[in-house]
Amino acid sequence: MDPRSRGGKRRACCKYLSPAGTCLGPKYKRGAAGPVATLLRLSSGPSAPCAPRGGVGACAWLLTPFLCCRICVSWHCIVGQITRFHDPDSKGRQKSWCPGRCGWFRGNFQKQVFMYRLCFAILYSRPKSASNEHYFSIDNELEYENFYADFGPLNLAMVYRYCCKINKKLKSITMLRKKIIHFTGSDERKQANAAFLVGCYMVIYLGRTPEEAYRILIFGDTSYIPFRDAAYGSCNYYITLLDCFHAVKKAMQYGFLDFNTFNLDEYEHYEKAENGDFNWIIPDRFIAFCGPHARSRLESGYHQHSPETYIPYFKNHNVTTIIRLNKKMYDAKRFTDAGFDHHDLFFADGSTPTDTIVKEFLDICENAEGAIAVHCKAGLGRTGTLIACYIMKHYRMTAAETIAWVRICRPGSVIGPQQQFLVMKQASLWLEGDYFRQKLRGQENGQHRTSLSRLLSGVDDISINGVENRDKQEAEPYSDDDEMNGVTQGDRLRVLKSRRQSKAKAVPLTVILQSSVQSCKTSEPDASGSAGITHRTTRSASRKSSFKSPSVSRTKAVLR
């Protein structure tokens, strides 16, 4: 029986029936494309009508009862059991509610059905699945590897795995009659990460805007704790779920994120400390990696890699430029002899860069022929900060969005005062980016005017944020001597990451740090060079590598 009919008789305005069977009338006959309303069923407590069995908490149902066809401009009601609908990718494609069988409606039909079936719940006891409900949780499956008190957001590989899981469940033949309910427990940190994952799925696959995804997750009086940095001690800057959703949306918009080409095996292999500890922040443009040492070795469970470890991968992925932000722990000739450009832009561990360093970094990156690999000690704080400056200038992302994206790609990036530094730089970097793009457009059109040149030269002469970094020495927690002879923030973060990922026998943190300090003293005695000075040499031949590529093949799975 047609679900739009009652008692075997078709009503005159049947295609305007709500899921409850109420006639909506001709006023809904035409209108802007898209759903006329999003039905969000909210409940709490065991007696609520939509409370999961055995559960106590709140539940949000991602339901969209109406769909407007963009071609025939007619509203189509989604009514009846989910089994009445046919997957557009199956043989039932020809069965469409649209009288005109238009392609837009068929193409968006599955998306609407998925939103009808996918649910998110916060529960305080584990529910039991029923004949029409399937519950699952990822709280103990996709876990954030923290440095100190940081707890998220989860990295890009976990977002990919979650999306694979959801798509597999939604398309499973055995679950066609079931609602898919992702539930999380009482731990506030896991609640935030679970909400982050389901929100990313809504943005990436269901076409939700960041605001819509966030609004759906804030059901009832539900709230989520914000994410903090990986620094030791207190935190005075946070990023929210909404910042993360905006970051994911803009990453898709600018081509940073495409799960059709994302290589899960490569990401999970190379992000491990024993395999190089590096991540792409912008595909084919920026790599953030852990600082190389004079030679490769395993020192008390702490992985150290020589420059030759990275050379084959860098060559195969069109990396042409290396930028070092920490004191010398290897000879730059080992990269330049292999054909790379190498630059030194030192500033103290845990501190913020000067305006001169930021300007020099941006100039190097804007003139690089290929991709750029950037490192400090751990490849987190200083590295993430300068890459974030480039993203803010050239993609006009906010400081919070940029920090969120860099951390999704490489957890633990941008630490302590570096967060406020990026907030302070946002307006000026946006302005510089506007001038830069205007200059490029003028050159492409052959209409580059003298007035614009004078304006751009004036911008080059001023401080990047319009003011100098005052009292910089007071703000820097470490000195140059500390960088060479002591244990800095980068040492601690790098050791923590190496310890948690290594399969070797656990060694006390103090022993590893002492070994690290000794290796720093003996590896490269030359620590010359001041902040803001760039050393550049030419290219030559390559060296033999000790780097091992992943044994697994490239992931071919396409999420559709």
Evaluated on CA atoms 389, 392, 398, 400, the torsion sign reads negative
Strand partners, 322: 342, 373
Longest CA–CA separation in the chain, Å: 90
Amino acid identity, position 257:
L
Q: Residue 376: which of 410, 400, 426, 404 has the closest Cα?
A: 410
CB 307 within 8 A of CB 298: no
Token pair, residue 442, equals 């003028």
Neighbours of 223 (CB within 10 A): 12
Side-chain half-sphere CA neighbours of 8 within 13 A = 0
Alpha carbon distance 98, 354 (integer Å): 61
Alpha carbon distance 490, 470 (integer Å): 24
Alpha carbon distance 196, 185 (integer Å): 14
The distance from CA 168 to its chain's CA centroid, rounded to whole angstroms, is: 22
Alpha carbon distance 520, 443 (integer Å): 47
- Computed over its alpha carbons, how large is the radius of gyration of the chain? 27
Alpha carbon distance 462, 466 (integer Å): 6
Alpha carbon distance 487, 489 (integer Å): 7
Alpha carbon distance 481, 327 (integer Å): 10
User: Which residue in this structure is represented by tokens 């009659």?
Assistant: 177
The distance from CA 60 to its chain's CA centroid, rounded to whole angstroms, is: 24
Amino acid identity, position 171:
K
Outline where DSSP puts E strands in 94-252: 118-123, 133-136, 179-184
Which is catalytic among the residues 376, 389, 409, 520?
376
Give me the helices (H) in 462-541, please: 472-475, 480-485, 489-501, 509-523
Amino acid identity, position 301:
G
Pair type for strands 319-324 and 341-344: parallel
Strand partners, 435: none
Q: Residue 213: which of 199, 201, 226, 225 has the closest Cα?
A: 199
Q: Residue 203: which of 140, 147, 167, 248 has the closest Cα?
A: 248
Token pair, residue 504, equals 């070797």
Alpha carbon distance 170, 177 (integer Å): 10
Alpha carbon distance 13, 15 (integer Å): 6
Alpha carbon distance 498, 513 (integer Å): 12
Q: Residue 346: which of 366, 335, 360, 333 has the closest Cα?
A: 360
Q: Is 376 among the residues known to form the active site? A: yes
* Active site positions, annotated: 376
